[in-house]
């Protein structure tokens, strides 16, 4: 294996409310249940990569509270090195996740300690990062993301950015990022136009590549993903699965890309493992509890169809 996955990002405790449907403005509905589960895009992606067999370390911040201690325990259970996760006086980040009967989710995040994360938190992990994959998201300050990406590139690491949640300013990171991963709404924020058709999806991928992102992957839920790099355009299908909860499906996907990358896998290898991991994640409840193990993901990955689009 070439190196590690180094995740610099958020840790949140998820408060997951299940309901028949989400309420609209001014409406009160009865929920079916509430549960607490470790989450946060950074922590989810770290656990996903570790469960998929990659040596993984994380830098982040949690509060000196029960949520923070539970998040650390979850990382350690997944064998993620949490030596650069700092405990600070601020409260641990919290996400309210509303999941409807179709498995679709709506999420409201209170950043807490995540909002104080700085590039120095990741410093010890970046001192010897040549050959590593440094994985970033946007639930921490953009200034920290920019500084970590620059330091990672100087250290000889491969920088993988999941530009989520959607933030138009993330386009400024193009020169510092080796691989960009976005869904349709995140791509729309970066491109500043609506993505409402397959043609618009392809145009978004080409636009982001032209703006300086060396490789771009656009996730499309049950329709799989599009990927553009120096070798051209690939389209990957997603298998049909029974959707229980879509929370952390994107994080499973990104963790799969990172895990495949540190093994030296090709773009096709990465897409297959990523789609398999994301597809398996939606079949179970919760964020980190839904993230699959390597054997299960590899088995499903063998069935993923990946090819250049016929008219590309």
Report domain extents, the chain: 43-59+80-85+122-307
pLDDT in tens, 134-168: 999 999 999 999 999 999 999 999 999 999 999 99
- 235-262: b (≥16 Cβ within 10 Å) or e: bbbbeeeeebbbbbbbbbbbbbbbbbbb
pLDDT in tens, 207-253: 999 999 999 999 999 999 999 999 999 999 999 999 888 878 999 99
Q: 83: phi > 0 → left, psi -120 to 50 → alpha, else beta; which?
A: alpha
Residue pair 268/275 in contact by the 8 Å Cβ criterion: no
The pLDDT, as a whole number, for residue 70 is 97
The pLDDT, as a whole number, for residue 311 is 67
Q: Is the pLDDT of residue 1 over 50?
A: no
**d(C-alpha 170, C-alpha 137), whole Å:** 10
pTM over 0.75: yes
CATH number of the structural domain 43-59+80-85+122-307: 3.40.1190.20
The pLDDT, as a whole number, for residue 27 is 87
Residue pair 3/131 in contact by the 8 Å Cβ criterion: yes
- Element counts in the chain: helices (H) and strands (E): 9, 14
Question: Which positions are catalytic?
Answer: 251
Nearest to 11 by CA among 60, 63, 45: 60
In which order are the strands placed within the sheet that holds 93-99?
33-39, 12-18, 93-99, 105-110
Q: Is the pLDDT of residue 286 over 80?
A: no
Q: Omega before 165 cis (within 30°)?
A: yes
């Amino acid at each position: 294996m070439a190196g590690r996955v180094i995740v610099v990002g958020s840790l949140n405790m998820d408060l997951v409310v299940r309901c028949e449907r989400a309420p609209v403005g001014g409406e009160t509905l009865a929920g079916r249940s509430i549960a607490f589960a470790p989450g946060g895009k950074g922590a989810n992606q770290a656990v996903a990569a570790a469960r998929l067999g990659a040596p993984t370390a994380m830098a982040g911040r949690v509060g000196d509270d029960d949520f923070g201690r539970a998040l650390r325990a979850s990382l350690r259970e997944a064998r993620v090195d949490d030596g650069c996760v700092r405990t600070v006086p601020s409260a641990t980040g919290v996400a309210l996740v509303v999941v409807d009967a179709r498995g679709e989710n709506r999420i409201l995040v209170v950043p807490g300690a995540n909002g104080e994360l700085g590039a120095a938190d990741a410093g010890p992990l970046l001192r010897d990062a040549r050959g590593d994959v440094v994985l970033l998201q946007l639930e921490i300050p953009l200034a920290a993301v920019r500084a970590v990406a620059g330091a990672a590139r100087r250290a000889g690491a491969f920088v993988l950015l999941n530009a989520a949640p959607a933030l138009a300013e993330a386009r400024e990171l193009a020169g510092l990022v080796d691989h960009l991963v976005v869904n349709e709404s995140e791509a729309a924020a970066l491109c500043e136009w609506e993505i409402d058709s397959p043609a618009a999806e392809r145009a978004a991928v080409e636009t982001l590549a032209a703006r300086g992102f060396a490789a771009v992957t656009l996730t499309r839920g049950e329709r799989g993903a599009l990927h553009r790099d120096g070798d051209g355009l690939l389209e990957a299908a997603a298998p049909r699965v029974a959707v229980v909860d879509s929370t952390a499906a994107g994080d499973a996907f990104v963790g799969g890309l990172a895990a495949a990358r540190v093994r030296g896998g090709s773009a096709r290898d990465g897409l297959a493992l990523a789609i398999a991991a994301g597809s398996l994640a939606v079949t179970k409840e919760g964020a980190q509890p839904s993230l699959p193990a390597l054997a299960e993901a590899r088995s499903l990955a063998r069935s993923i169809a990946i090819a250049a689009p016929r008219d590309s």
